[in-house]
Amino acid sequence: MSQRIAVVTGASSGIGAASARALAADGWHVVIGARRVDRLEALAAEIGGTAIALDVTDQESVDAFAAQIESCELLLNNAGGALGTTSIAEGDVDEWQWMYDVNVLGTLRVTKALLPKLVASGDGQVINIGSIAAREPYKGGGGYNAAKHAVAAMTRVLRIELLGQPVRVSEIDPGMVETEFSIVRFGGDADKAAKVYEGVTPMSAEDIADAVRWVASRPKHVNIDQILMLATAQTSAQVIHREL
């Protein structure tokens, strides 16, 4: 049997890269997409996958990416991110726009582009990486909460629309995971990013990748609709026990 193909977006680091490694270890041929092609190529060489440049905020880039993929059984929509924690009163429209574009429109664009191939596979799967921010609002989350709630909504719409077709749809919502997420959120400020994880053992990208590989390996008649994963030291996005 030829290798099944998994497509992972935002695969140059963090949850995307860890998931690409985990899926490759489970026998998938993994097509990895991201903007940082040098990192992608190194990862593709390591896991025997295929690196293709992808900017999910750019429709032409998504179309060119999808055109290079002949067939696809699994799509992991992982590309996303947050910018800032400013209040709505102080918020920056450009930051909101970027968050909506990368998280929401990016997921919609890539899903739409690959859906015909997922359906044609006869056993397709879409896994969207959401967030605790998709379930719970918090101060400073005006842009990010709104975007991740929208990702959750579109995931559920897709599940409804695909009922009766051979494509499963799942959502994995992580809480605190130590990746480049906070460095990006705080505009490269590593000290501010480190504070997020101070006195806490956060989850790792590999912890989330374990869930991805589990969801991806369920039999065809089982759809894992939603998973919420938190660090043991948190009971919600902002209720955190820190050992300082």
Map residues 132-151 to x or -, x wherever contact with ligand 8X3 holds by CB under 6 A.
xx------------------
Per-residue tokens: 80:
């996303």
Nearer to ligand 8X3, 122 or 137 (CB): 137
20 vs 132 by CB, closer to ligand 8X3: 132
Residue identified by tokens 């992982």 is 78
Active site residue 100: no
- Site for ligand 8X3 contains 131 (CB under 6 A): yes
- The answer to the question of residue 231 lying near ligand 8X3 (CB under 6 A) is no
Spot the catalytic one: 100, 138, 144, 197: 144
Interface of this chain with ligand 8X3, residues 142 to 201, rule: CB under 6 A:
175, 181
Least separation, in Å, of the C-beta of 130 and ligand 8X3?
8
CA–CA gap between residue 215 and residue 139 (Å, rounded): 31
**With helix as H, strand as E and coil as C, how does 42-77 read?**
HHHHHHCCEEEECCCCCHHHHHHHHHCCCCCCEEEE
Query: Taking CA 11 as the corner, what is the angle to CA 6 and CA 13, rounded to the nearest 5 degrees?
Result: 145
Q: What is the nearest approach in angstroms of ligand 8X3 to the Cβ of residue 21?
A: 21
The three-class DSSP label of residue 79 is coil
Are 151 and 80 a contacting pair, CB within 8 Å? Answer: yes
Binding site for ligand 8X3 (CB under 6 A): 131-133, 175, 181, 237
Q: Show which residues are catalytic.
A: 144
